[in-house]
Structure 1
């Protein structure tokens, strides 16, 4: 189920003061969908890409916990989007059926929250196959 018709940044709850920043998820209402899976990506060399696929049904929430990642997206009509995640209270909602590439900055840590459990059959890993969906 797509909760958002297109990708967008949402702002997460947090408290910022002289002792640091505290960002949190307190209840399921903090999310645009029910979280069924979470994973994080670390140790990616600067400038390297991850993602490079689309999902048929899965919607994700991407959060750069540390550092910076650039997320490049393409929809089935060929429209492109680019987002820079560099604040831990900003999350990118990535709906299903968007081709994605995530370019990592130095020492970045990316947290991904998903509305589906892992299923290889949900992945579109071939760009030509994705392009044929339009």
Structure 2
């Protein structure tokens, strides 16, 4: 079982936010990049999501400890978030030179447009035990249960 006390304290202060990556834009094409020092954590895992039909949702869960950075490499992804303090956030990811930071204990839902590609960078190795997949369980955490 994962200890929540430190995450609950930290997460009340840390909110999701968008930040700029490096980019060089030219008529011949764009080059986007990042340097590790701009990230709020060291990357331990990465994965990307492709082939999601237009209008379909991915995510629809939260993590106890995992923090993530998401980058829409192609297309457009609409992000709806709710944190442990019940604050709601809405972002549109459509620029590969921007990244969205997701702290732990944030319920996320990503709605994809056709042909979109989402890159996810994580500070933790995969662990099924870190997932909160049931919204009712997340709401219990929001209410202090």
1:112 corresponds in structure 2 to 120
Match of 2:48 among 40, 51, 57: 40
1:93 Cα deviation (Å)? 0.2
TM-score normalised by the chain length of structure 2: 0.87
- RMSD of the alignment, in Å? 1.5
Match of 2:14 among 5, 25, 31: 5
Structure 1 moving runs of 4+ over 3 Å: 1-4
Tell me the matched-pair count: 133
Report the structure number with the largest CA radius of gyration.
Answer: 2
2:70 corresponds in structure 1 to 62
1:30 Cα deviation (Å)? 3.2
Deviations 1:9-61 (A, max 9, x none): 00001111111100113x42132210000000000000000000000001100
Match of 2:31 among 22, 40, 47: 22
1:68 Cα deviation (Å)? 0.2
Match of 1:79 among 84, 87, 103: 87
Query: Would you tell me which structure has more helix in proportion to its own residues?
Result: 2
1:49 corresponds in structure 2 to 57
CA distance in 1: counterparts of 2:41 and 2:85, whole angstroms: 25
TM-score normalised by the chain length of structure 1: 0.94
2:107 corresponds in structure 1 to 99
2:4 corresponds in structure 1 to none
